[in-house]
Amino acid sequence: MAQPEHGLSAFGELKYPRDFTHFDYVNPDAPAGGRLSMIGVTGVTSFDSLNGYILKGQPAEGLKLLFDTLMTRAMDEPDAMYGLLAHSVEIAGDGKSVTFFLRPEARFHDGSKVTADDVVFSFDILKKEGHPLLRLPLRDVGKAEVLGPDQVRFSFTGEETRDLPMTVAELPVFSKAYYATREFGASTVEPPLGSGPYRVKDVQLGRSITYARNPDYWGWKLPVNRGRFNFASIRYNFYRDRSVAFEAFKAGAYDLRGEFTSKTWATEYDFPALREGKVIRDTLPDENPSGVQGYFINQRREKFQDIRVRQALDLAFDFEWANRNLFFGLYTRTDSYFENSALEARGAPSEAELALLQPYRDQLPESVFGLPYSPPVSDGSGNVREALKQAGVLLDAAGWRVLDGKRRNARGEILSIEFLNYEPAFERLISPFIRNLEK
């Protein structure tokens, strides 16, 4: 950047100009009020902490409502951010640092000013004691330093620095003075001091947490906030059992539910409140990049480092049978880590893509230069004999041959697999996969 800008983008020009008044996808005149109650989307069944930025404890849902960040994302651009605590940002010509210029009016909930000291403190404490999901992306951020009361600079190491300005722009900013008398790394149920649009109103430990819209929030008139955060209160309910949570929804215990279980969606959404029009059941169009759900094979284990072994495992998984019998035909196979996005590989590489790949041809598998990998497709009958025969040929070639009814390598070790399962609901998917692997 030749001069400070009002936003950041990894992919070129910003959509919104410096004088924009609100995001296009919001109603800037939306009324404020009412309440929203829901269950979270993370699958958490309880909570014992109001510190969501450390590894210790199980944090409540919604804690991000309490904290402002230097910039906030525009949800109608692939990777763009606009000023929140910072009114502008400047990236050094060599990409090795980024400087943020803070809004002098920014305030914490106790009325104290948000300063560059608070930003540096937040970075330092997160890099030292923060949750690994926050700490690891900061490995190549060398330091943060105060250039003035409202000016802070982050310096980067290494060569891959393109995304680091946005990484630090999304970090929550904590009050240095507040944590001077508190241990940041401790799990706590004390509502923390933030600077965001909501404050903690009520906590029923392990059962619910309610946030209240802060009428004195310093940032209501900012373009990035107009038309957003309209509910007077937001409550998250917690249930230890998914079936109990659904029954609570049917009884009207909370307002909004995202359904992630195909069986429930296909067979259980027929209850009085829905028939009476009190519940709206809708499938929302999703044009966002899809999250990845699948089996992740630990290639740090020697037995999985041979690609033929991994291909054999893929051949044993019968998605079409699972979709027909377990998911009521509601699912579409994920073919890419970047599913439903412009980054998903489709067809053979174009001439422009080949020109980018050619200098690295001696370092890349030849398959990269052809059609993208596509998972095997069965007829959905549950009979995957041919696929298992192919898997057997691959395992033989990889040195895992059948001896006494077990696949063994030259050292006599058995090819065994341990599945780590997140919740019991996935057992019905893992069990038929295991049966195919045993065959």
- Cα 57 from Cα 311, distance rounded (Å): 38
The string of pLDDT tens digits covering residues 378-393 is 999 999 999 999 999 9
Alpha-carbon distance of 357 to 300, in angstroms, equals 27
User: Where along the chain do the CATH 3.10.105.10 domains lie?
Assistant: 302-335+374-438
Residue 268 is predicted with a pLDDT of: 93
pLDDT of the residue at 322: 94
What is the C-alpha to C-alpha distance for residues 308 and 394, in angstroms, rounded to an integer?
5
User: How high is the pLDDT of residue 84?
Assistant: 98
Task: Write down the pLDDT at residue 199.
Answer: 98
Digit-by-digit pLDDT tens for the chain (439 residues) are 557 999 999 887 899 999 999 999 999 999 999 999 999 877 778 999 999 999 999 999 999 999 999 999 999 998 899 999 999 999 998 999 999 999 999 999 999 999 999 999 999 999 999 999 999 999 999 999 999 999 999 999 988 889 999 999 999 999 999 999 999 999 999 999 999 999 999 999 999 999 999 999 999 999 999 999 999 999 999 998 888 999 999 999 999 998 888 888 999 999 999 999 999 999 888 777 777 788 899 999 999 999 999 999 999 999 999 999 998 998 888 888 888 888 888 899 999 999 999 999 999 999 899 999 889 999 999 999 999 999 999 999 999 999 999 999 999 999 999 999 877 778 889 999 999 999 9
Pinpoint the residues of the chain covered by CATH 3.40.190.10: 7-180
Architecture of domain 7-180 in CATH?
3-Layer(aba) Sandwich (3.40)
Q: Please tell me the distance from the alpha carbon of residue 313 to that of residue 419, in angstroms, as a whole number.
A: 13
- pTM across the whole model: 0.79
Q: Which of 375, 404, 367, 389 is nearest to 436 (CA)?
A: 389
The CATH code of the domain at 302-335+374-438 is 3.10.105.10
